[in-house]
Amino acid sequence: MGTSYYNVWTNDPFIYKSTISGVNVYDLGGDLLSILGFIDYENTSGVWADDNYVYIATSVSGIYRCDVSTVTGTVTLTPYKQYPEITSNYVYYIHGGGDYLCATTASGVDHYDLTTGSGISTTISGISKCFQTERGEFYYSYNPSDADKELHVVYDNTNNWTREALGYVYVVENNINDIHVTETTSRYNNGNVLFLATSSGVVVIEEKPGDEENNNYKYYYINT
């Protein structure tokens, strides 16, 4: 059906490592071979945490969460978003920043305000990873099997969106396997710098907000 992107997330003082059977919790400043706690949940597909909650993506029942203060003891997971509040209960990946959380699923992309719990979404297949910025915009990779590979950015995080309402579409030659964004580090108009790991190497994009067609690109491709 799709791919689960088991990941590692760090939020002081803990490191969280997702596995198919749950999340291992490690001490960021201690012995990384020693597990401090384990959040037990079969069919886990990803993890993200802030200072208050650990959010756990699953491939069967949406997104759960637990209080950070419990991760080294007795953990009680509660549902955070499940269908129909999320496009699908099969969640591929989650990533957050500031007051926001983004999720990619088998049926689309969801974006939530962690303060209010409200969300927006789009329905689309062929999505893999996402990156959520602290100031609100978010990016996700679109890797259809029969069309160009793309990175989509959404600037308006207050309304459901369609392809026609996207902030910008970056066309990339090869599958996008991972995304990282450094915020407001572009030389132009407080834009971001994007790092895309593709199947043929790395693409670095320095954004020019409002003039995206003239963004700066650097390509670091693998010799074949």
Q: State residue 31's pLDDT score.
A: 80
Mean pLDDT of 121-147: 95
Q: Is the pLDDT of residue 1 over 70?
A: no
Q: Which of 48, 153, 138, 136 is nearest to 92 (CA)?
A: 48
For residue 162, pLDDT beyond 80: yes
- Distance (Å, whole) CA 23 – CA 38: 6
74 vs 12, 39, 82, 144, 203, CA distance in Å? 20, 9, 23, 42, 43
* Percent share of the chain, pLDDT over 70: 98
DSSP state of 133: -
Average confidence score pLDDT of the chain:
95
Task: Please say whether the beta carbons of 112 and 154 come within 8 A.
Answer: no
pLDDT above 90: percentage of residues in the chain: 90
What's the count of helices (H) and strands (E) in the chain, helices before strands?
Answer: 0, 20
Per-residue confidence (pLDDT) for residue 3, from 0 to 100: 66
